[in-house]
Amino acid sequence: MMTNSTKADLKRRALMAVRDYGIYLTQFRNAMSEWAGLNVTDMECLRLLFIKGVAAPSELAKHTGLTSGATTAMLDRLEKAGLIERKPNPKDRRGTLIMPAPSSSDRVAAWFESARQAQDELISSYSESELKIIADVFERFTKLWDMEREKLQKRVL
């Protein structure tokens, strides 16, 4: 059985690792954005579009925290780079829908190929039982951050 001091040390180590993971992931994303000639918000917009497939500019503005004018400028940059397409919204004549350009998924995937290979090598080094724990931890942290975000959004300043 584990002693309290050992468990406390391991708990501290695990929480520091989670903190460091977040920091280094952010630094990697920043470096990738700079290398690709985009800003971090542009990359976040692309990430959402790859997940959803299509979104209204207002939804992208809400996700990125940008004003409508800044969202338009971001979409102009992404369209100029050939990464997105704008299409008329069939449900709203005045509206526009944004989607990834057909070739953008392959282009962006190529940017992350080295990181994907490194992740696969790292995760492949764990046993099935370890992978279950790793998946559980990340799934629970994902829920935790989502719940904490919701709490923040409900707070009255």
Does residue 63 contact residue 44 with C-beta atoms inside 8 Å? yes
Which residue, among 83, 89, 85, has the nearest Cα to 46 in the 3D structure? Answer: 83
The 3-state DSSP class for residue 149 equals helix
| The pLDDT of residue 157 | 58
Tokens coding 129: 């039982």
Is CATH 1.10.3720.10 what the domain over 39-101 is classified as, yes or no? no
Helix crossing, 57-64 with 68-80: angle to 10°?
110
The length of the chain, given as a count of residues: 157
Which residue, among 130, 116, 144, has the nearest Cα to 18 in the 3D structure? Answer: 144
Q: Tell me: the pLDDT tens digits for 53-79?
A: 999 999 999 888 899 999 999 999 999
Q: What is the mean pLDDT of the chain?
A: 91
Residue spans per domain, the chain: 1-36, 39-101
Cα separation values, 19 from 15, 22, 104, 107, 141, Å: 6, 5, 31, 30, 11
Stated pTM of the model: 0.75
Does residue 64 contact residue 45 with C-beta atoms inside 8 Å? yes
pLDDT of 156 above 70: no
